[in-house]
């Protein structure tokens, strides 16, 4: 397995181009299953999660072509999907095991083909991650759902029908899945307590371009009037707010200055506010955010993760890395996932002073410096937190299990090197 080696101490300065959002692209890719016409997605990030999902869709019969093009001097990629000959309605364990978000095929396939079989994903490092809200909502829309041999087998012989659904939690995945299912259902579906993340708004924009009738964009009540069929469309994936937030902290922690090209400040209001409270300079321009930690003293600050527009859980680990070297104490409370402090022992091995209380709170007391060490993380964002710690630690840090980072950070070493980091990938020998 590849590793990343970092020699800490360099101040990072320059520009970083923010890629298309992974969590937006995943449901957008699956929306291609809703139509027999061509769907073109531009600014799709080059990530292993996308590669896995494309492989699953190809296995089902979706024809996919890739095109590399230039956008603002940056190499971007687009995919054209054509799902006019879907022959396989089963998402096997081998795909789902590698890519949890392959559950996004559930809603589109059930709505269009009235049948789907989907291997249950199981838990993952950050929590149990059930899909009960997805399944009970589809049942409310008339689907028969059975669990057989580890698979969800769902049928809607007469098609899905509109329903009034109230989510028990504002789940991102369930909102995307039920939105897609409802576009082709018979009648009107109303979702209450829907998630409001920007990635959902991006999906609504694409679905409406395809001919769907969705109202309530950006709010927690979505109304979808089902249509007979959807048509092809072209769409540009929105910029990744979590990638932008991660590199913003890279600027702050190294006391450098980075311009995040394409980053959207309106999607990062809470994290930017926290950065400012911690003493970091933030400037918003027409198409970028400039984060300036030059000569700044970082001060501890409390963070409570919550549903959007609250503070994103996907930036919790990275902010914690910054807090380890802040002046004073910071309290981090994780309200979304039950097991999302696995980066804590690794940060402590690098010299951080963090105490976990219960399973939801951690107190971080700032230390003067961190020291390099071999570390490993069990999830994507935690891995980036270790990269951040490595950037300021004395000496060498080796981050193991780089495949986590490859799931969610496009051209990671390239982007970091371009702003002055001493970082390199050590390729696995086998």
131 contributes a contact to ligand UD1 by CB under 6 A: yes
Looking from the CA of 349 toward its CB, the CA atoms found within 13 Å total 16
User: For ligand UD1, which stretch binds (CB under 6 A), given 123-131, 250-258, 282-290, 315-323?
Assistant: 123-131
Site string for ligand UD1, 88-107 (x = CB under 6 A): -------------x------
Q: Residues 205-227, buried b or exposed e (16+ Cβ, 10 A)?
A: bbbebbbbebebeeeeebbbebe
134 contributes a contact to ligand UD1 by CB under 6 A: yes
Between 263 and 280, name the residue whose CB sits nearer to ligand UD1. 263
Q: Angle at CA 294, nearest 5°, toward 293 and 299? A: 45
Question: What are the catalytic residues?
Answer: 124
> Strand 303-304 to strand 13-17: parallel, antiparallel, or no bridges (unpaired)?
unpaired
DSSP string for residues in 340-367? --THHHHHHHTT-EEEEETTTEEEEE--
* Backbone φ/ψ region at 215: left (φ over 0), alpha (ψ -120 to 50), beta: beta
The CB-nearest residue to ligand UD1 is: 173
Residue selected from 127, 216, 279, 420 as contacting ligand UD1 according to rule CB under 6 A? 127
193 contributes a contact to ligand UD1 by CB under 6 A: no
- Tokens in use for 245? 């937030």
Q: Which of residues 294-323 bind ligand UD1 (CB under 6 A)?
A: 313-314
Q: Angle at CA 303, nearest 5°, toward 306 and 197? A: 30
**What CA–CA distance (Å, rounded) separates 33 from 141?**
19
CB of 131 to ligand UD1, least distance (A): 5
- Tokens in use for 198? 């920007």
Between 292 and 314, name the residue whose CB sits nearer to ligand UD1. 314
**What CA–CA distance (Å, rounded) separates 106 from 126?**
22
User: For ligand UD1, which stretch binds (CB under 6 A), given 129-137, 214-222, 274-282, 318-326?
Assistant: 129-137
Between 107 and 173, name the residue whose CB sits nearer to ligand UD1. 173
Q: Which of residues 337-366 bind ligand UD1 (CB under 6 A)?
A: 337
Binding residues with ligand UD1: total (CB under 6 A) = 20
Site string for ligand UD1, 12-51 (x = CB under 6 A): -----------x--x-------------------------
Radius of gyration in angstroms for the set of CA atoms belonging to the chain, rounded to a whole number: 22
Q: Which residues pair with 422 in a beta bridge?
A: 7
169 contributes a contact to ligand UD1 by CB under 6 A: yes
Total residues found in the chain within this entry: 430
Residue selected from 28, 172, 222, 423 as contacting ligand UD1 according to rule CB under 6 A? 172
Burial of 144 (0-12, 13-18, 19+ CB in 10 A): exposed
390 contributes a contact to ligand UD1 by CB under 6 A: no
Between 341 and 350, name the residue whose CB sits nearer to ligand UD1. 341
How many Cβ atoms sit within 10 Å of the Cβ of residue 362?
Answer: 24
Q: Which of residues 251-290 bind ligand UD1 (CB under 6 A)?
A: none
CB of 321 to ligand UD1, least distance (A): 17
CB of 18 to ligand UD1, least distance (A): 17
- Residues interacting with ligand UD1, by CB under 6 A? 23, 26, 101, 127, 129-134, 169, 171-174, 195, 313-314, 336-337
């Amino acid at each position: 397995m590849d590793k990343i080696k970092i020699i800490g101490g360099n101040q990072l300065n320059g520009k970083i181009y923010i890629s298309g959002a992974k969590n937006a692209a995943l449901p957008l890719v699956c929306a291609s299953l809703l139509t027999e016409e061509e769907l073109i997605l531009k600014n799709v990030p080059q990530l292993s999660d996308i590669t896995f999902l494309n492989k699953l869709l190809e296995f089902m019969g979706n024809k996919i072509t890739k095109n590399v093009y230039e956008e603002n001097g940056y190499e971007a990629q687009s995919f054209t999907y054509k799902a006019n000959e879907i022959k396989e309605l089963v998402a096997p364990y081998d795909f789902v095991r590698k890519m949890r978000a392959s559950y996004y095929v559930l809603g589109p396939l059930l709505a269009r083909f009235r049948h789907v079989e989907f291997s249950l994903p199981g838990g993952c490092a950050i929590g149990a991650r059930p899909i009960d809200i997805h399944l009970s909502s589809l049942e409310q829309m008339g689907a028969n759902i059975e669990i057989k041999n580890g698979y969800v087998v769902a049928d809607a012989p007469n098609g899905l029908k509109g329903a009034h659904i109230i989510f028990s939690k504002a789940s991102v995945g369930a909102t995307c899945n039920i939105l897609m299912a409802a576009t082709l259902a018979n009648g009107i579906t109303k979702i209450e307590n829907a998630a409001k993340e920007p990635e959902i708004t991006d999906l609504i924009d694409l679905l409406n371009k395809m001919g769907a009738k969705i109202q309530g964009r950006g709010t927690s009540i979505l109304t979808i009037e089902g249509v007979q069929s959807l048509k092809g469309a072209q769409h540009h994936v929105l910029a990744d707010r979590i990638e932008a937030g991660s590199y913003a902290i890279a600027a702050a922690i190294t006391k450098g200055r980075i311009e995040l090209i394409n980053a959207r400040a309106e999607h990062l209001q809470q994290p930017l506010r926290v950065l400012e409270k911690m003493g970091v300079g933030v400037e918003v321009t027409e198409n970028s955010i400039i984060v300036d930690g030059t000569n700044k003293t970082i001060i501890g600050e409390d963070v409570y993760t919550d549903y959007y527009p609250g503070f994103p859980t996907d930036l919790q680990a990275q902010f914690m890395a910054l807090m380890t070297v802040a002046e004073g104490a910071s309290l981090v409370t994780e309200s979304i996932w039950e097991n999302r402090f696995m980066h804590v022992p690794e940060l402590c091995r690098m010299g951080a002073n963090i105490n976990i209380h219960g399973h939801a709170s951690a107190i971080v007391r700032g230390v003067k410096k961190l020291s390099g060490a071999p570390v490993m993380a069990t999830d994507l964002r935690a891995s980036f937190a270790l990269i951040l710690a490595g950037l300021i630690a004395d000496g060498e840090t080796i981050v193991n299990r780089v495949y986590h980072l490859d799931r969610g950070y496009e051209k990671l070493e390239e982007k970091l090197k371009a702003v002055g980091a001493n970082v390199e990938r050590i390729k696995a020998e086998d």
